[in-house]
Protein backbone atom coordinates (compact mmCIF):
# COMPACT_ATOMS: atom_id res chain seq x y z
CA UNK A 1 0.00 0.00 0.00
CA UNK A 2 1.39 3.39 -1.03
CA UNK A 3 0.75 6.50 1.01
CA UNK A 4 1.62 10.09 0.11
CA UNK A 5 4.13 11.24 2.73
CA UNK A 6 3.52 14.93 2.00
CA UNK A 7 1.43 16.63 4.62
CA UNK A 8 -2.04 17.50 3.34
CA UNK A 9 -3.37 20.46 5.26
CA UNK A 10 -6.95 21.57 4.92
CA UNK A 11 -7.47 24.95 6.59
CA UNK A 12 -10.51 25.27 8.75
CA UNK A 13 -10.49 29.05 8.69
CA UNK A 14 -8.61 32.31 8.88
CA UNK A 15 -6.97 31.43 12.19
CA UNK A 16 -5.25 28.36 10.79
CA UNK A 17 -4.06 30.26 7.70
CA UNK A 18 -2.69 33.00 9.96
CA UNK A 19 -0.88 30.43 12.12
CA UNK A 20 0.60 28.78 9.03
CA UNK A 21 1.74 32.16 7.70
CA UNK A 22 3.46 32.88 11.02
CA UNK A 23 5.19 29.48 10.93
CA UNK A 24 6.42 30.11 7.39
CA UNK A 25 7.88 33.51 8.31
CA UNK A 26 9.55 32.02 11.40
CA UNK A 27 11.07 29.32 9.21
CA UNK A 28 12.31 31.97 6.80
CA UNK A 29 14.03 33.86 9.64
CA UNK A 30 15.65 30.68 10.93
CA UNK A 31 16.85 29.69 7.44
CA UNK A 32 18.42 33.12 6.89
CA UNK A 33 20.09 32.96 10.30
CA UNK A 34 21.51 29.52 9.51
CA UNK A 35 22.96 30.99 6.29
CA UNK A 36 25.04 33.31 8.48
CA UNK A 37 23.27 36.60 7.80
CA UNK A 38 23.54 39.32 10.42
CA UNK A 39 20.52 39.90 12.64
CA UNK A 40 20.18 43.44 11.28
CA UNK A 41 20.00 42.11 7.70
CA UNK A 42 17.32 39.60 8.66
CA UNK A 43 15.35 42.30 10.49
CA UNK A 44 15.50 44.52 7.41
CA UNK A 45 14.22 41.70 5.19
CA UNK A 46 11.37 40.90 7.59
CA UNK A 47 10.49 44.60 7.85
CA UNK A 48 10.31 44.84 4.05
CA UNK A 49 8.05 41.77 3.91
CA UNK A 50 5.77 43.05 6.67
CA UNK A 51 5.31 46.38 4.89
CA UNK A 52 4.28 44.62 1.68
CA UNK A 53 2.02 42.27 3.67
CA UNK A 54 0.32 45.21 5.39
CA UNK A 55 -0.24 46.90 2.04
CA UNK A 56 -1.74 43.82 0.37
CA UNK A 57 -3.83 42.73 3.35
CA UNK A 58 -3.35 39.04 2.54
CA UNK A 59 -0.57 36.40 2.68
CA UNK A 60 2.42 37.18 0.51
CA UNK A 61 2.15 33.89 -1.38
CA UNK A 62 -1.04 35.27 -2.95
CA UNK A 63 0.86 38.16 -4.52
CA UNK A 64 0.60 38.23 -8.31
CA UNK A 65 2.62 40.18 -10.95
CA UNK A 66 -0.23 42.72 -11.20
CA UNK A 67 0.06 43.33 -7.45
CA UNK A 68 3.81 43.86 -7.75
CA UNK A 69 3.20 46.27 -10.65
CA UNK A 70 0.80 48.29 -8.53
CA UNK A 71 3.04 48.27 -5.46
CA UNK A 72 6.32 49.22 -7.11
CA UNK A 73 4.69 51.38 -9.79
CA UNK A 74 2.46 53.42 -7.49
CA UNK A 75 3.21 52.96 -3.78
CA UNK A 76 7.02 53.00 -4.18
CA UNK A 77 7.08 55.15 -7.29
CA UNK A 78 8.94 58.01 -5.58
CA UNK A 79 10.88 55.93 -3.04
CA UNK A 80 14.68 55.88 -2.99
CA UNK A 81 16.27 53.36 -5.38
CA UNK A 82 17.87 51.60 -2.40
CA UNK A 83 14.44 51.16 -0.79
CA UNK A 84 12.94 49.76 -3.97
CA UNK A 85 15.90 47.42 -4.52
CA UNK A 86 15.89 46.24 -0.90
CA UNK A 87 12.19 45.50 -0.93
CA UNK A 88 12.39 43.71 -4.28
CA UNK A 89 15.33 41.63 -3.05
CA UNK A 90 13.45 40.66 0.14
CA UNK A 91 10.39 39.58 -1.85
CA UNK A 92 12.52 37.61 -4.31
CA UNK A 93 14.43 35.66 -1.66
CA UNK A 94 11.23 35.02 0.32
CA UNK A 95 9.57 33.49 -2.73
CA UNK A 96 12.68 31.41 -3.36
CA UNK A 97 12.28 30.11 0.19
CA UNK A 98 8.59 29.37 -0.41
CA UNK A 99 9.33 27.50 -3.64
CA UNK A 100 12.13 25.45 -2.10
CA UNK A 101 10.54 24.63 1.27
CA UNK A 102 6.76 24.97 0.97
CA UNK A 103 5.77 24.64 -2.69
CA UNK A 104 3.98 21.29 -2.33
CA UNK A 105 2.53 22.13 1.06
CA UNK A 106 1.18 25.47 -0.13
CA UNK A 107 -0.39 23.85 -3.16
CA UNK A 108 -2.10 21.27 -0.94
CA UNK A 109 -3.01 23.94 1.56
CA UNK A 110 -4.30 26.70 -0.75
CA UNK A 111 -4.45 25.26 -4.25
CA UNK A 112 -1.93 27.87 -5.39
CA UNK A 113 1.33 27.27 -7.24
CA UNK A 114 3.94 29.53 -5.68
CA UNK A 115 5.63 31.86 -8.15
CA UNK A 116 7.54 35.08 -7.53
CA UNK A 117 5.53 38.12 -8.73
CA UNK A 118 8.72 39.91 -9.76
CA UNK A 119 10.18 39.01 -13.13
CA UNK A 120 12.35 40.54 -15.86
CA UNK A 121 9.56 42.95 -16.82
CA UNK A 122 8.62 44.52 -13.49
CA UNK A 123 11.69 43.91 -11.28
CA UNK A 124 13.15 47.24 -10.04
CA UNK A 125 16.64 48.01 -11.26
CA UNK A 126 19.12 46.12 -9.15
CA UNK A 127 22.72 47.08 -8.27
CA UNK A 128 25.09 47.88 -11.14
CA UNK A 129 27.26 45.27 -12.83
CA UNK A 130 31.05 45.05 -12.61
CA UNK A 131 31.56 47.07 -15.81
CA UNK A 132 29.44 49.95 -14.55
CA UNK A 133 31.19 49.87 -11.18
CA UNK A 134 34.62 50.09 -12.85
CA UNK A 135 33.39 53.00 -14.98
CA UNK A 136 32.20 54.79 -11.82
CA UNK A 137 35.52 54.35 -10.03
CA UNK A 138 37.54 55.33 -13.12
CA UNK A 139 35.67 58.64 -13.33
CA UNK A 140 35.91 59.17 -9.60
CA UNK A 141 39.68 58.48 -9.67
CA UNK A 142 40.20 61.09 -12.39
CA UNK A 143 38.28 63.69 -10.42
CA UNK A 144 40.70 63.32 -7.49
CA UNK A 145 43.28 65.31 -9.47
CA UNK A 146 41.04 68.38 -9.69
CA UNK A 147 38.87 68.18 -6.56
CA UNK A 148 38.86 71.14 -4.16
CA UNK A 149 39.49 69.11 -0.98
CA UNK A 150 41.77 66.21 -1.80
CA UNK A 151 42.07 64.57 1.64
CA UNK A 152 38.37 63.80 2.32
CA UNK A 153 37.81 62.93 -1.35
CA UNK A 154 40.74 60.47 -1.31
CA UNK A 155 39.50 59.00 1.99
CA UNK A 156 36.02 58.45 0.57
CA UNK A 157 37.44 56.93 -2.62
CA UNK A 158 39.66 54.52 -0.67
CA UNK A 159 36.78 53.50 1.63
CA UNK A 160 34.42 52.87 -1.29
CA UNK A 161 37.13 50.93 -3.14
CA UNK A 162 37.66 48.69 -0.10
CA UNK A 163 33.93 48.05 0.17
CA UNK A 164 33.64 47.20 -3.53
CA UNK A 165 36.82 45.12 -3.96
CA UNK A 166 37.30 43.45 -0.58
CA UNK A 167 33.70 43.24 0.61
CA UNK A 168 34.12 45.18 3.84
CA UNK A 169 31.06 46.69 5.45
CA UNK A 170 30.86 50.42 6.16
CA UNK A 171 31.30 49.87 9.89
CA UNK A 172 34.38 47.68 9.26
CA UNK A 173 35.97 50.30 7.00
CA UNK A 174 35.27 52.98 9.61
CA UNK A 175 37.35 51.08 12.18
CA UNK A 176 40.37 50.49 9.91
CA UNK A 177 43.76 51.88 10.85
CA UNK A 178 47.00 52.25 8.88
CA UNK A 179 48.44 49.50 11.08
CA UNK A 180 45.85 47.14 9.53
CA UNK A 181 47.60 47.46 6.14
CA UNK A 182 50.42 44.91 5.72
CA UNK A 183 52.63 46.85 3.34
CA UNK A 184 55.50 44.39 3.68
CA UNK A 185 53.46 41.55 2.14
CA UNK A 186 53.18 43.23 -1.25
CA UNK A 187 50.09 43.81 -3.37
CA UNK A 188 49.28 40.19 -4.33
CA UNK A 189 49.97 38.81 -0.86
CA UNK A 190 47.76 41.50 0.65
CA UNK A 191 44.87 40.49 -1.62
CA UNK A 192 45.27 36.81 -0.75
CA UNK A 193 45.47 37.69 2.93
CA UNK A 194 42.28 39.78 2.71
CA UNK A 195 40.40 36.93 0.99
CA UNK A 196 41.45 34.40 3.62
CA UNK A 197 40.60 36.52 6.64
CA UNK A 198 37.16 36.66 8.23
CA UNK A 199 35.43 40.09 8.12
CA UNK A 200 36.11 40.53 11.84
CA UNK A 201 39.85 40.07 11.26
CA UNK A 202 39.94 42.53 8.39
Query: Are 26 and 100 part of one and the same domain?
Result: yes
Same domain, 25 and 82: yes
The rounded mean pLDDT for the chain is 82
Mean pLDDT of 140-160: 86
On whether both 40 and 84 belong to a single domain, the answer is yes
Residue ending a domain, choose from 110, 144, 161: 110
- Asked if residue 184 belongs to a domain, the reply is yes
pTM score, whole prediction: 0.60
Q: Same structural domain for residues 31 and 65? A: yes
- Looking at the structure of the chain, the number of domains it has is 2
d(CA 188, CA 164): 17
pLDDT digits (tens, 9 = 90+) for 171-200: 888 888 878 777 787 766 545 555 555 454
| Domain co-membership, 77 together with 151 | no
> Mind listing the pLDDT tens digit for each residue in 86-114?
999 999 999 999 999 999 888 887 888 88
Domain of 154 in residue numbering reads as 130-196
Amino acid sequence: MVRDLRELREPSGAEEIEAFETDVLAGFVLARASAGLADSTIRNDVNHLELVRDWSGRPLWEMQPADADAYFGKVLRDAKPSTRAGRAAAITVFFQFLELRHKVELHNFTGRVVECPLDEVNRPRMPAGSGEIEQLFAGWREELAICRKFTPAARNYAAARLEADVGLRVNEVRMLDLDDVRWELGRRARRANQRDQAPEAR
